[in-house]
Amino acid sequence: MIGKRVKDLRLERGISLSELAESAGVAKSYLSMIERDIQTNPSIHFLEKLAKVLRVNVEYLLHSERGDDLGRMADDFRALPSDWIQLIRGAISFGVSKADVEHFIESKIKEMSDKTDK
């Protein structure tokens, strides 16, 4: 299962086996054995290296269902510019709820739509 996830992510990102091994600082032969499920119990340290390059968290590589959402969220979150991440963290620390943000976005969309209708 882990090997399939690694391979699928690698191919999805257009990274060759050699490129992933080099970027993660792991042996290409061992990575190949992981992907082919010959080796099925890699260390957490090994998975952390792969996860960093593949831009997911280790949980995504380890868990079949729950990890999908966690890994994708981590990937999406890392794609945000740092100033947006700081803004989101600041809003959360001041107690801004998800519903508050959704309401704000909806009102801005309506406001912009009203302007273009005129």
Q: What superfamily would CATH give domain 2-79?
A: lambda repressor-like DNA-binding domains (1.10.260.40)
pLDDT of residue 68 exceeding 80, the answer is no
- Average pLDDT over the chain reads 83
Joined tokens for residue 61: 């590589």
Per-residue model confidence (pLDDT) at position 42: 93
Which of 48, 50, 45, 57 shows the shortest CA–CA distance to 31? 50
What lies within 8 Å, CB to CB, of 66 at 6+ separation is: 59
Domain assignments of the chain as residue spans, ordered by start: 2-79, 82-117
pLDDT of residue 104 exceeding 70, the answer is yes
Which one has a higher pLDDT value, 66 or 96?
Answer: 96
pLDDT (tens digit, 9 = 90+) per residue, 9-39?
A: 999 889 999 999 999 999 999 999 999 999 9
pLDDT (tens digit, 9 = 90+) per residue, 46-59?
A: 999 999 999 888 88
N residues, the chain: 118
pTM above 0.75, yes or no: no
Distance, CA of 57 to CA of 72 (rounded, Å): 8
